[in-house]
Amino acid sequence: MELLYGPIKDYAWGSRCAIAELQGRPVPSEGPEAELWLGAHPGAPATVDRAGDRVALTEVLAADPAEWLGQRVVDRFGARLPFLLKVLAAAAPLSLQAHPDAEQARAGYARDDAGCDGHRNYVDPFHKPELLVALGPMEALCGFRDPAISAEVLAGFGVPELGPVLDALGAGPAGLAEAVRLLLTWPAAERAGLVAAVRTAAVAGPDAELVALLAEAYPADPGVVVALLLNRVRLAPGEAIWMPAGNLHAYLRGTGVEVMAASDNVLRGGLTRKHVDVAELLRVLRFEVLDQPVVAPQPVADGMVTWPIPVPDFALHRVTVKQQRPEVTLTVPGPWVVLCTSGRVDVADVAASVTLVSGRAAVGAAAGKSLTVSGVGEVYVASPGLC
């Protein structure tokens, strides 16, 4: 094992407290701190120490992929780390977004690479399923709720312009695609009026609070209304949401540990000042009702839990060590990226041991065989999901 140093993304929606507090730095930070990246994605690779210099993890892996990644990972994913671990800290809502599946990502990257316009929807040829585990109370929009519930909410606003949307929702799940299409392609000159009418009519309850939150930042964005078609999820610490390909979602506020396939492909439909491509988003969305978006932690062993997910790119474990149980050993194959979220722990493989405190991270090669955590504290361990 060796220490890993991750860059922090300063997106505007980021918190000025959460990541700084996690790492024991002064609060508030000088600017927004949205995501701490702990991986080898070329967009923002973490670094390790080499002879007094910081070297990108991408370079280290490329120099000896078999040693670092293991032959199974190389055979399945090529000479790259297939996952990316992050800390996400949202002080304001993120965009309405979804991610492509593997086939869509490959085709989209090849198409974008040919050069259609000045913006790339697909920055790499990989899919991006995600799992986010709350570190504290967290809120998100995740997946479509029952269209009958959404129709009842929208009808209660008494906004005549929403009539076609209500008609589409009346068809049940089969009408979701049309309802979303109508809203996201709403005539530009009429968008501010629609959002204002909905905001005025929504006077009480959670849906009204959500409309006010989003409309304050985006007063002419029909994504404010699309948000009402989604499940609003409130996560307690340790609970997670699983976001497979094609799942429309948006984080609202809070801090969590996020692990995903190593990709940065994001298709946005609204609630953002970044590039929006409604046509491409509609093409990749899965218009299915997501009845249960929350994933509870499942015990694996004494002091260790995981969140089962159906992809081979990554797995996530949380290990808790304390005085009554000062050591836990993981036998899941590496490579590993380890993030400490509380306490002081030693993390060791057969090669070396490092000491971590809150907000610090380490990386270990697949050749390290197994991973032992000791001390008093809590860590999250990301690894390949191959059995």
Tell me the residue ranges of DSSP E strands in 80-120.
Answer: 83-90, 96-98
CA angle 375, 353, 342 (to 5 degrees): 35
Active site residue 268: yes
Which tokens is 382 given? 């990301």
Q: How many CB atoms lie within 10 A of CB 136?
A: 12
H or E stretch at 315: strand 315-321
Residue 357 CA to residue 361 CA, distance in Å, equals 8
Residue in this structure with the two tokens 């997106």, named with its chain if needed: 11
Considering the candidates 268, 273, 283, 325, report the single residue annotated as catalytic: 268
The CA-based angle 86-91-97, given to 5 degrees, is 65
User: Are the CB atoms for 21 and 341 separated by under 8 Å?
Assistant: no
**Is 267:261 a contact under the CB 8 Å cutoff?**
no
Contacts 24+ apart (CB under 8 A), 199-203: 199/224, 201/156, 201/157, 201/158, 201/159, 202/157
Neighbours of 239 (CB within 10 A): 19
Shortest CA distance to 281 belongs to which of 99, 95, 93, 94?
99
Active site residues: 268
